[in-house]
């Protein structure tokens, strides 16, 4: 299904719900671009680690953001991420950056800077952006809003399966604990916590395949487009 009408599709939800996979698949089907807003927070978090800047220092983090170039390049599989011109796509998925991204994202000034950049990326539509506050803050007028959720155990299991090496029990427990901690921080922070927009369609992906979720969202998009 391709169309000339270029919508904005917002997909929010917790880690492991399947947002990036769904966004990438759907983008391919619709001829849209998929943008992972979380990768921008990850880029900033990596720069903070490298510059030894405290994750609690809001002013220093904002200054760091203002002096950074964080670029997303949509691909068929997801986003490649460039920090100051260097490809950091692999590095930003590592555990220390994952945890740091959740910590730097609690600061209102950092969020304001990120939201402004993210809105620039949505100019012209034809965009599927995924994150935590896309339907509530970045694009409150998005034509299609999805809140993609899944049971915590399912999300933990997916994270474990994403690993290429075999994961033992201790490592599994660590992954589960990390996900729980990040969930709690993302949902309870004061600035733009992870919540479903009032007008979002909630999809629970716990017992659905990727194709089934993509079909559901595509159906909603088709309805919006009136065909
Ligand atoms: O989607 P992700 O796992 O790559 O996101 C990493 C962290 O970034 C997440 O724990 C919270 C933060 N984030 C956010 O606060 N707002 C967004 N729109 C996207 C991510």
Residue 222 within a domain? no
Query: Quick one: angle between helices 37-50 and 108-122, nearest 10?
Result: 130
**How many folded domains does the chain comprise?**
1
Residue 73 within a domain? yes
pTM of this prediction exceeds 0.85: yes
Strand partners, 127: 8, 33
pLDDT at 88: 98
pLDDT in tens, 161-215: 877 777 788 888 988 999 999 999 999 999 999 999 999 999 999 999 999 999 9
Hey, whose CA ends up nearest to atom 20 of ligand 1?
Answer: 38
CATH of the domain at 158: 3.40.50.300
| C-beta 132 within 6 A of ligand 1 | yes
Q: 13 CA to middle of ligand 1, Å?
A: 9
Q: pLDDT category, 4, cuts 50, 70, 90?
A: low
Query: Distance between CA atoms of 217 and 28, rounded to whole angstroms?
Result: 13
Residue 220 within a domain? no
Q: 179 CA to middle of ligand 1, Å?
A: 12
| C-beta 32 within 6 A of ligand 1 | no
The percent of residues in the chain predicted with pLDDT above 70, rounded, is 97
- Residue of 102, 148, 184, 200 best suited for mutating to test ligand 1, as the one with most atoms within 8 Å of CB: 102
Query: Distance between CA atoms of 204 and 216, rounded to whole angstroms?
Result: 11
Residue 221 within a domain? no
Q: Among candidates 83, 65, 64, 63, which has minimal Cα distance to 73?
A: 83
Residues spanned by the domain of 117: 8-213
Q: What is the mean pLDDT of residues 13-32?
A: 95
Tally of CB atoms within 10 A around 109: 15
Query: Distance between CA atoms of 176 and 160, rounded to whole angstroms?
Result: 9
pLDDT at 166: 76
| C-beta 89 within 6 A of ligand 1 | no
pLDDT in tens, 116-128: 999 999 998 999 9
Using the predicted structure, report yes or no on whether residue 39 has a pLDDT greater than 70: yes
The percent of residues in the chain predicted with pLDDT above 90, rounded, is 85
Residue 223 within a domain? no
Residue 1 within a domain? no
pLDDT at 18: 94
């Amino acid at each position: 299904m391709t169309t000339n009408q270029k919508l904005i599709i917002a997909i929010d939800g917790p880690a492991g719900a399947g947002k990036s996979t769904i966004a990438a698949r759907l983008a391919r089907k619709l001829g849209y671009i998929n943008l992972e807003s979380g990768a921008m927070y990850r880029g900033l978090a990596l720069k903070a680690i490298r510059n030894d800047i405290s994750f609690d220092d809001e002013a220093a983090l904002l200054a760091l953001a203002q002096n950074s170039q964080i670029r997303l390049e949509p691909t068929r599989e997801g986003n490649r991420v460039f920090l100051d011109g260097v490809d950091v796509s692999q590095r930003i998925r590592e555990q220390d950056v994952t945890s740091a991204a959740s910590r730097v994202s609690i600061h209102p000034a950092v969020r304001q800077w990120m939201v402004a950049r993210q809105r620039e990326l949505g100019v012209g539509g034809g965009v599927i952006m995924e994150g935590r506050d896309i339907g509530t803050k970045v694009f409150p007028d998005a034509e299609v809003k999805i809140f993609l959720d899944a049971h915590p155990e399912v999300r933990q299991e997916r994270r474990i399966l994403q690993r290429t090496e075999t994961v033992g029990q201790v490592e599994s427990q660590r992954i589960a604990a990390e996900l729980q901690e990040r969930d709690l921080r993302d949902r309870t922070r004061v600035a733009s916590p992870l919540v479903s927009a009032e007008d979002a369609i909630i999809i629970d992906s716990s017992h659905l395949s990727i194709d089934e979720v993509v079909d559901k969202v595509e159906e909603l998009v088709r309805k919006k487009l009136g065909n």
